[in-house]
Amino acid sequence: MALNNPYQQYRQNAVLTADPGRLALMLFNGATKFARQARAALEAGDLPEAHQKMIRAQDIMIYLLSTVNDETDVGRNLAALYDYMYRRLVEANIKKDGGILNEVIGLLEDLGATWQEALQKGGGQAGEPAAQEEAVE
């Protein structure tokens, strides 16, 4: 697929060249964005749009879950958290419940902030905010 839009090319390159920590941050930010959009769609009564956005957030959680090294305590804890958030997103989608989305959004925001801080303390910056928030579509 040819990308003629320079911004789209930039976003694609940001994802393709990101180290694992930055990629995780982009994924958390993407899942948060989709969960917020789903909540807004629910509030507007647009159930098909809410469903679509929740599916996007669920897909990100499945991807994150598939990348966890579950041979360590930290990995097992992250896997449990990702699984919990995935199940809650499914439940929010079935029940069309914005309260459950709020819970997941809070967890995603906390994880994103933690990764951001870890990246900064690890000697690297997490990148430009626009790239982080918009790289995952």
Residue 68 lies in a domain: yes
Of the pLDDT bands very low, low, confident and very high (cuts 50, 70, 90), residue 9 is low
Residue type for 137, please? E
Residue 130 lies in a domain: no
Q: Does pTM surpass 0.85?
A: no
Q: Are 85 and 108 in contact (CB under 8 A)?
A: yes
Q: What is the pLDDT of residues 86-126, one digit of tens each?
A: 999 999 999 999 999 999 999 999 999 998 998 888 765 44
Residue type for 82, please? Y
Instruction: Give the chain's domain count.
Output: 1
The whole-number pLDDT of residue 128 equals 40
Of the pLDDT bands very low, low, confident and very high (cuts 50, 70, 90), residue 17 is low
Residue 94 lies in a domain: yes
Structure tokens at 69: 């090294």
The whole-number pLDDT of residue 40 equals 98
Residue 128 lies in a domain: no
Side-chain half-sphere CA neighbours of 49 within 13 A: 11
Of the pLDDT bands very low, low, confident and very high (cuts 50, 70, 90), residue 73 is very high
Domain interval for residue 66: 19-123
Closest to 119 measured CA to CA, from 27, 21, 23, 31:
21
Q: What is the pLDDT of residues 20-69, one digit of tens each?
A: 778 888 999 999 999 999 999 999 999 999 999 999 999 999 999 999 99
Q: Are 53 and 41 in contact (CB under 8 A)?
A: yes
Residue 7 lies in a domain: no
Indicate which CATH number applies to the domain containing 116.
1.20.120.340
d(CA 18, CA 8): 15
Residue 107 lies in a domain: yes
**DSSP, res 113:** H
Closest to 69 measured CA to CA, from 56, 57, 82:
82
Q: Are 21 and 121 in contact (CB under 8 A)?
A: no
The whole-number pLDDT of residue 127 equals 43
Residue 2 lies in a domain: no
The whole-number pLDDT of residue 50 equals 98
Residue 133 lies in a domain: no
